[in-house]
Structure 1
Amino acid sequence: MSFTIALSGLAAAQKDLDVTANNIANVNTTGFKESRAEFADVYATSIFASGRTKVGDGVTTSTVAQQFSQGALKFTNNSLDLAITGEGFFALTPDRQSQDLTYTRAGAFKLNKDNFIVDNNGNYLQGFAVDPVTGENQSVSLSTTQPIAIPTSAGAPRATTNIFLSANLDSRELATDAIAFDATDRATYNHSTSVTVYDSLGESHTVTTYFRKTTTVPPANAEWETWVVWDDVTGLPIQGDNLVFDSSGNFVPAAPPQTVTLPAAALNDPLNGYLTNGAQFATDVVVNFRDASGVREPTQYASTFDVTNLSQDGTTVGFLTGVDIDAFGRVLASYSNGDSAYLSQVAMVRFANVQGLKQVGNTSWKQSITSGEPIGGQANTGTFGAVNASSLEQSNVNLTTELVDLISAQRNFQANSRALEVNSTLQQTVLQIR
């Protein structure tokens, strides 16, 4: 009996050594979780045997339990390196159409030849679909996840539909409406300002707005005519609404608000010469005398002409300039034309019993009966951890502790070997009795 007990002790000590050696070997493995060998004693007896004199039957390995404690973060210069602080796993699939999910904490991701985010083994990082403007996810069901792609192609151009302009018009200026407006004659207007706009193909154009003060007889409010010229087509200026100011220099808005409208039909007409590249405007281009929020309006003070707001809502062709991933896992792409768009949200997964997950290698796990069903969710909400871009989670192995455990396992192995040796000596002694 003592022989088999000593053998079980040797097997347990060997298992402890194996687990410790594996932990030490993976001390620099990104996302690795250390394991701990857990043992239980073996005891068997019949109902008629005396429990007072029964000796145990040795030891057995109960389980090799992984410890999912947080590893330290290592910061990098790669924005696609991701680490989780808190609970959760990244979800991966072996191909773009598969729903065979594996789970990992190793976030050393990169782009493949098709611009999809993958790990070192080519597995695709999964994400939830989001609104490209707000970044709000549309679903957190794992059945709706899809591989995350980072398009490097140009951002589509967007034709200008609105120009927002507010300025201070100098009340000390003299009226210039005695003669006809001529964009080429500085004497026929008081102020002007220009903005770059874009057509449907992303080509830039210059829209110049002119202001000229009209003759006003007090106590009437002061008025300014507005004119707009497209590019250098000065022979076809478009007149807009007059801007009216009271004696305090405050804007007196009308209903509807004052604007200058460049009709899409006129812009698209090849006879006018506004567009020469085949572009077409689907809607009118409107110059609004206010800012985009409607708060800032023109003024007329005894001060120099000053543009206080000038913007437009079109964009030219843009190219990818950067990718940012926030703590919620939202992937934001920035383009050279000033546009930005949310592409996806990194899917987070948690389990009721993480120690029940089945190891499959490459620092990955799969669902098992004891782990429970995977639960998808959004990072940095509820019990899900936050996503940290440009960082990696290091192994949670404590090398000092492992070296101490290694010495302890070695002593246990030596002690059980000694017990086996003593048992062999006793049996040899019995065999030599004459």
Structure 2
Amino acid sequence: MSFNIGLSGLSAASKQLDVTGNNIANVNTTGFKSSRAEFADVYSATKLGTGSRAVGNGVRLANVTQSFGNGGMDSTGNVLDMGVQGNGFFVLSSNGSLSYTRAGTFKTDKDGYVTNTDGTAKLQGFAADANGNIIPGVLTNLRIDTSNLSPETTTKIGSTINLDSKSTAITIPFDVTNTASYTKPFSTTIYDTQGNAHSLDQYAVKTGANTWNVYSLVDGRNPNGTAATVGGATDPVPVPVVFDSAGKLQSIGGSAAQTSITVTGWVPGKVTAGVWAANGAGANAAGIAIDFSKTTQFNADTSRNNITNDGYATGQITDITIDATGVISANFSNQQHKAIGQVALATFTNEQGLQAVGGTSWKETFSSGQPAFDGGTVGTNGSILSGSLEASNVNLTSELVDLIKGQSYYQANAKTISTQSTIMQTIIQMA
């Protein structure tokens, strides 16, 4: 029986050395989680129990458990390299079969899909609609769409304006070519339906105490393309803007309820060789609303800031960014930004129940429970760090100590077998 006890000890020691060696071998494996061997003693028993003088029958490997604690983060500078700080696994799909990993070494294939490092599985996440809104709940293959961003015609403009109350009232007729005929010009780039840029020029003219006129021209002309003249039928039409005694906006165009000036009838065009012609593009049918609700008349220099414009030209994708929640945003050459998807993280009730399948990946089992999918920083999910990879959580110093202990453990069990052999030889010689 002692031989069997010693052999069980040798087997256990060998398995401990295997686990330790595997940890050491993967000390530089991205997203690797260290393991430890757990042992249990063995006793022979009957229906009446083992008795008070029972001698053990050796040892057995009870389990090999993994430590899912976080490894350190190594910066790479590659935006598609991702690490998870906290709980959660990246989700990969290979022909519909899901696996889970902490190794965030991703790249794109020829079709723009985000895949693992060897291209055998696609990263899973949540898609975004045409407006950049994330569609939660349904996993899909994440894809980096590199197509151009279609232009958007301008429909509204906003800004914060102060008109200097100290400005002198102007009594001469407005003439766009005469700077003495207006107090302050403001220019805003606007866009037609084809993404062509145009200049919306507005001229503020102080006409009296707390009263101003605002003239609007597009590309230096009336919105319909006719030339702006003085004293003729094609004069730009002024819109009166009135302030109260406290410098707050009181009315626009004679209406206290109106807070914007709307430029209507705009026909997009351009001047070629001194001749204006429509360019074939369109404009917003309801006109362009220029918000004046944040306009004041205080004793300060006339200024304009915080300009907003909902129109833009055609944009080409320049780069992408991924935030802590996993939202992938595309940045375009026209200064626009749009969400194109969100990386999903999976969490399990019992991580120890996951089945390791190699490649720093795991599979769901009955013991692990079903995964819950969501973005980063949601619930118990950790945050996603783009441009970094999670290193192995193996403590090399501790593993080397365990290696020495395992070697001693193996030698000691071998010694019990050697001793038993010597005893048996002695007994045989006595016979």
When the two structures are superposed, what TM-score results if normalisation uses the length of structure 2? 0.85
Distance in 1 (alpha carbons) for counterparts of 2:301 and 2:407: 88
**Cα deviation 1:347-383 (Å, max 9, x = unaligned):** 1211111111101111000001211111223322322
Assess if the C-alpha contact under 8 Å between 1:5 and 1:58 holds in 2. Answer: yes
Residue 124 of structure 2 is aligned with which of 103, 118, 126?
Answer: 126
Distance in 2 (alpha carbons) for counterparts of 1:270 and 1:186: 24
**Pairs within 5 Å for 1:17-416:** 17-47=17-47, 51-94=51-94, 98-122=95-119, 123-129=121-127, 137-140=134-137, 144-164=138-158, 166-168=161-163, 172-177=167-172, 179=173, 181-186=174-179, 188-214=181-207, 222-233=210-221, 235-236=227-228, 238-246=236-244, 249-253=247-251, 254-257=255-258, 259-264=260-265, 266-267=266-267, 276-290=278-292, 294=293, 296-299=294-297, 305-308=302-305, 310-416=307-413
Q: Which amino acid aligns with 1:205?
A: H
**Cα deviation 1:35-89 (Å, max 9, x = unaligned):** 1111112212334787244322221111111111222222332222222222211
Assess if the C-alpha contact under 8 Å between 1:83 and 1:387 holds in 2. Answer: yes
**Cα deviation 1:265-309 (Å, max 9, x = unaligned):** x516999x877443212424325252xxx3x214275x6643356
CA 1:310 to 1:238, structure 2 compared with 1: closer, same or farther past 3 Å?
A: farther
Cα offset, 1:160, TM superposition: 0.8
Distance in 1 (alpha carbons) for counterparts of 2:301 and 2:51: 105
Cα offset, 1:240, TM superposition: 4.3
CA 1:68 to 1:289, structure 2 compared with 1: closer, same or farther past 3 Å?
A: closer
Q: Which amino acid aligns with 1:168?
A: L
Q: Which amino acid aligns with 1:239?
A: V
Assess if the C-alpha contact under 8 Å between 1:31 and 1:104 holds in 2. Answer: yes
Bigger shift: residues 106-115 or 82-91: 106-115
Work out the number of aligned pairs and report it: 413
Distance in 1 (alpha carbons) for counterparts of 2:101 and 2:406: 30
Distance in 2 (alpha carbons) for counterparts of 1:408 and 1:104: 31
Bigger shift: residues 153-162 or 276-285: 276-285
Distance in 2 (alpha carbons) for counterparts of 1:12 and 1:308: 74
Assess if the C-alpha contact under 8 Å between 2:10 and 2:410 holds in 1. Answer: yes
2:2 corresponds in structure 1 to 2
Distance in 1 (alpha carbons) for counterparts of 2:334 and 2:98: 37
Q: Secondary structure at the match of 1:279?
A: coil
Q: Which amino acid aligns with 1:357?
A: L
Assess if the C-alpha contact under 8 Å between 2:156 and 2:291 holds in 1. Answer: no
Q: Which runs of 5+ in 1 are unaligned?
A: none
Q: Which runs of 5+ in 2 are unaligned?
A: 229-234
Which of the two has greater strand per residue?
2
**Cα deviation 1:221-242 (Å, max 9, x = unaligned):** 5543322222143615542421
Assess if the C-alpha contact under 8 Å between 1:132 and 1:342 holds in 2. Answer: no
Q: Secondary structure at the match of 2:417?
A: helix
Q: Secondary structure at the match of 1:51?
A: coil
Distance in 2 (alpha carbons) for counterparts of 1:342 and 1:72: 29
Q: Which amino acid aligns with 2:242?
A: V
**Cα deviation 1:298-322 (Å, max 9, x = unaligned):** 4275x66433564432111223333
Assess if the C-alpha contact under 8 Å between 2:44 and 2:50 holds in 1. Answer: no
Assess if the C-alpha contact under 8 Å between 2:187 and 2:201 holds in 1. Answer: yes
Distance in 2 (alpha carbons) for counterparts of 1:126 and 1:324: 17
Distance in 1 (alpha carbons) for counterparts of 2:429 and 2:81: 69
Distance in 2 (alpha carbons) for counterparts of 1:100 and 1:2: 48
Distance in 2 (alpha carbons) for counterparts of 1:74 and 1:14: 33
When the two structures are superposed, what TM-score results if normalisation uses the length of structure 1? 0.85
Q: Which amino acid aligns with 1:59?
A: V
Q: Secondary structure at the match of 1:194?
A: strand
Distance in 2 (alpha carbons) for counterparts of 1:245 and 1:394: 63
**Cα deviation 1:84-118 (Å, max 9, x = unaligned):** 22221111112xxx432111111122222222222
State the superposition RMSD in angstroms: 3.0
Distance in 2 (alpha carbons) for counterparts of 1:248 and 1:53: 100
Cα offset, 1:148, TM superposition: 2.0
Q: Secondary structure at the match of 1:193?
A: strand
Q: Secondary structure at the match of 2:419?
A: helix
